[in-house]
């Protein structure tokens, strides 16, 4: 075996071992990357690298989009926008069998347009919707499973923090990635609603109809309350698609609009704003620490030349491009079941991305391949967030429903995971599902 692969493989093994013993992901990546860097080029080059890299990494203007989108989601959660979305969706379809669960999916999709975080979406609707689902007789595992998979729409519906990280790591256009994510995200929401309809038809006890149709006056009031959320979503996402704002400007406008709506409606007070700022600071610090660790680890991999050699080796094997892609996506699904999604992406992109962009999928250049692959990665990250044994969204909702065994929640998400695999297969087989809006608007 080539010494480059031995060095890189040893680094990966040590890193996975540290993660397995619950070492902080950022610290593990930083330590292994620095150790590998030192092993290859010595101490002085390592110190010179560490002296300049953090500044140039965090002085990147594009990174400011991350705390802005996180803050927008935190303000939206504390301003009651999620409750309004759920109330409106429930008013429209809640009287149907399984309608409240469908309302959760619709509301999560709407909230994803102002949040960008899967965990935040799951936690928000776990507090807003789970008590209502339980009160009206929904089977507990079905209720928690629906909220867990609905939470994945927080990263599938643009804007998405995961896509921002992918774009920065691979030097891709953030706006184009947001455009590419829209159709697969809508397909996800549609598939989840269809899964609920099939499940409650086969097992009516899962989601009983809760009442008659909502009176027109109450429905009108619920829909009027949700208009500010829809306006914010249209401004944020539509501004990017229409070329009115850059993604960073759009995030800033979204923050200001969310704050203004909350203050004018009297649902956001000084305490809520302070909590949102603190939560944003904590989450941003965690993400930036992981980004720094990944940067050092990626520099070690680049020095080892293993990613480039792997790309050349796979190209020389003459495997069909889609066979290679299927293997990489399968690896992502396995890793996503046991690793944090952000760490998984930053850990694997230096190896997987050169391999994918070196293959010919019949698309119009490497940029389209990179955008399409980013959406596929986003889909498998969503699968990893709910797949056993370590689905982060499942743990979040289980923390809110402590009387529901986690195994019961995992059983509740299995039908939705099947729909996710169907959606993944469709997006692999038909790249135009991800790319047609990019081609249309650019």
| Mean of per-residue pLDDT scores for the chain | 83
Asked if the model's pLDDT at residue 416 lies above 90, the reply is yes
Q: Which of 74-78, 221-225, 408-412 has the highest mean pLDDT?
A: 408-412
- pLDDT category at 5 given cuts 50, 70, 90 is low
Alpha carbons 328 and 204: distance in angstroms, whole number: 39
Number of domains in the chain: 1
Mean pLDDT of 40-69: 85
Check residues 147 and 112 and name the one with the higher pLDDT. 147
The rounded percent of the chain whose pLDDT value lies above 90 is: 12
Please name which of 230, 429, 213, 403 lies closest in space to residue 325, comparing C-alpha atoms: 429
Asked if the model's pLDDT at residue 1 lies above 70, the reply is no
CB 420 within 8 A of CB 382: yes
Please name which of 87, 62, 397, 387 lies closest in space to residue 251, comparing C-alpha atoms: 62
Instruction: Report pLDDT for 195.
Output: 93
The per-residue pLDDT for range 124-145, each reduced to its tens digit, is 888 878 887 888 788 888 989 9
The per-residue pLDDT for range 161-214, each reduced to its tens digit, is 888 889 888 888 888 999 999 999 999 999 999 999 999 888 888 877 766 566
Instruction: Report pLDDT for 191.
Output: 95
The per-residue pLDDT for range 90-106, each reduced to its tens digit, is 777 767 778 888 888 98
Q: From the DSSP assignment, how many helices (H) and strands (E) are in the chain? A: 24, 0
Asked if the model's pLDDT at residue 421 lies above 90, the reply is yes
Asked if the model's pLDDT at residue 250 lies above 80, the reply is yes
Mean pLDDT of 385-407: 81
Instruction: Report pLDDT for 89.
Output: 77
Cα separations in angstroms, 197 against 134, 138, 210, 442 = 18, 14, 15, 37
Domain, as residue range, for 197 = 3-441
The per-residue pLDDT for range 268-312, each reduced to its tens digit, is 888 989 998 998 888 888 888 888 888 888 888 778 777 667 666
Composition of the chain by helix, strand, coil, percent to 5: 80, 0, 20
Of 116-120, 242-246, 318-322, 424-428, least confident by mean pLDDT is 116-120
CB 339 within 8 A of CB 366: no
Asked if the model's pLDDT at residue 4 lies above 70, the reply is no
Give the DSSP per-residue string, 51-85. Answer: HHHHHHHHT-GGGGHHHHHHHHHHHHHHTTHHHHH
Angle 406-429/321-336 helices, nearest 10 degrees? Answer: 160
Own/partner contacts of 7-12, CB < 8 Å, gap of 24 or more, are 7/36, 7/39, 7/40, 7/304, 7/306, 8/36, 8/301, 8/304, 8/306, 8/307, 9/306, 11/35, 11/36, 11/297, 11/300, 11/301, 11/304
The three-class DSSP label of residue 17 is helix
């Amino acid at each position: 075996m080539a010494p480059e692969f031995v060095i890189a493989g040893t680094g990966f093994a040590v890193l996975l071992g540290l993660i397995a013993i619950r070492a902080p992901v950022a610290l593990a990546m930083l330590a292994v990357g620095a150790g590998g860097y030192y092993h290859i080029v010595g101490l002085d080059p390592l110190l010179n690298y560490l002296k300049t890299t953090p500044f140039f990494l965090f002085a990147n203007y594009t990174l400011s989009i991350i705390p802005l989108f996180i803050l927008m989601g935190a303000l939206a959660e504390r301003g009651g926008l999620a409750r309004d979305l759920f109330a409106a969706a429930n008013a429209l379809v809640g009287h149907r069998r399984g309608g409240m669960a469908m309302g959760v999916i619709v509301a999560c999709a709407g909230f994803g347009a102002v949040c960008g975080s899967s965990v935040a979406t799951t936690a928000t609707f776990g507090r807003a919707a789970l008590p209502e689902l339980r009160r009206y007789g929904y089977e507990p595992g079905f209720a928690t499973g629906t909220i867990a998979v609905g939470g994945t729409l927080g990263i599938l519906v643009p804007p998405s923090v995961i896509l921002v990280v992918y774009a920065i790591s691979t030097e891709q256009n953030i706006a184009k990635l947001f455009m590419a994510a829209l159709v697969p995200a809508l397909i996800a929401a549609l598939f989840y609603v269809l899964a609920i309809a099939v499940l409650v038809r086969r097992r009516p006890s899962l989601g009983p109809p809760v009442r008659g149709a909502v009176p027109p006056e109450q429905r009108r009031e619920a829909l009027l309350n949700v208009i500010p959320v829809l306006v914010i979503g249209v401004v944020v996402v539509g501004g990017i698609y229409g070329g009115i704002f850059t993604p960073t400007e759009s995030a800033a406008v979204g923050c200001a609009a969310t704050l203004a709506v909350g203050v004018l409606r009297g649902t956001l007070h000084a305490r809520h704003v302070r909590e949102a700022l603190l939560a944003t600071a904590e989450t941003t610090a965690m993400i930036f620490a992981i980004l720094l660790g990944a940067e050092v680890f990626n520099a070690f991999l680049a020095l080892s030349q293993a990613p480039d050699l792997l790309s050349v080796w796979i190209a020389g094997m003459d495997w069909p491009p889609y066979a290679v892609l299927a293997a990489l996506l399968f690896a992502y699904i396995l890793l996503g079941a046991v690793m944090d999604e952000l760490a998984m992406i930053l850990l694997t992109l230096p190896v997987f991305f050169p391999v994918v962009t070196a293959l010919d999928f019949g698309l119009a250049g490497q940029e389209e391949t990179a955008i399409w692959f980013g959406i596929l990665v986003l889909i498998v990250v969503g699968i990893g967030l709910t797949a056993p044994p370590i689905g982060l969204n499942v743990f979040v909702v289980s923390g809110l429903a402590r009387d529901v065994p986690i195994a019961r929640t995992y059983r509740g998400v299995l039908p939705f995971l099947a729909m996710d695999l169907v959606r993944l297969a469709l997006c692999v087989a038909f790249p135009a599902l991800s790319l047609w809006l990019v081609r249309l608007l650019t």
